[in-house]
């Protein structure tokens, strides 16, 4: 398997992720497009982390008041975006089991929640 070349202009974090995934899995054109978007988002996360390290958690607002650095919110959202896009990529797990779609994961989580609630209700009614 020939490893596909990383898209141009990726930063270190994006290139590292590209290499780590493409060296293990053979991806089709759609998956490579998703991976390229993930890698760009990972680069954004790295830049946001650098900005947070430089500016700190608390910054001075327009009126001179201390406030939470807006980078914190952007960083959280960017990390969630990476997680969701990785789920969309649907890579198999380390044990070889196929990945589930986000809809399947949501359905599984809902079923587990219902199961837990049902079990909890039954436990209380016995006591």
Question: 22, 38 in Cβ contact below 8 A?
Answer: no
Question: 51, 73 in Cβ contact below 8 A?
Answer: no
Residue-range domain boundaries for the chain? 1-91, 100-127
Q: For the chain, what is the mean pLDDT?
A: 87
Evaluate the CA torsion angle 78, 98, 13, 28 in order and state its sign.
negative
Phi (first) and psi of residue 9, to 5 degrees: 70, 15
The highest-confidence range among 22-26, 39-43, 88-92, by mean pLDDT, is: 39-43
Return d(Cα 120, Cα 27) in angstroms, integer: 43
Mean pLDDT of 17-24: 94
> How far is the first Cα of the chain from the last one, in angstroms, to the nearest whole number?
60
Say what the alpha-carbon torsion angle 24, 26, 32, 37 is, to the nearest 10 degrees.
-20
The tens digit of pLDDT for each residue in 70-125 reads 999 999 999 999 999 999 888 876 665 555 555 555 566 677 787 777 777 777 66
The tens digit of pLDDT for each residue in 48-62 reads 999 999 999 999 999
- Identify the residue with better confidence: 99 or 66: 66
């Amino acid at each position: 398997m020939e490893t596909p070349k990383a898209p141009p202009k990726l930063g270190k974090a994006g290139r590292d992720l590209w290499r780590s995934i493409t060296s293990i899995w053979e991806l089709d054109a759609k998956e490579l497009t998703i991976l390229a978007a993930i890698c760009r988002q990972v680069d954004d996360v790295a830049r946001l982390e650098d900005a947070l390290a430089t500016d700190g958690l608390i910054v001075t607002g327009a009126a001179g008041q201390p406030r939470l650095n807006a980078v914190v919110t952007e960083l959280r959202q960017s990390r969630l975006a990476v997680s969701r896009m990785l789920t969309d990529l649907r890579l198999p797990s380390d044990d070889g089991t196929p990945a589930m779609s986000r809809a399947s994961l949501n359905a599984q989580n809902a079923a587990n929640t219902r199961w837990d609630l049902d079990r909890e209700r039954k436990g209380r009614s016995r006591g």
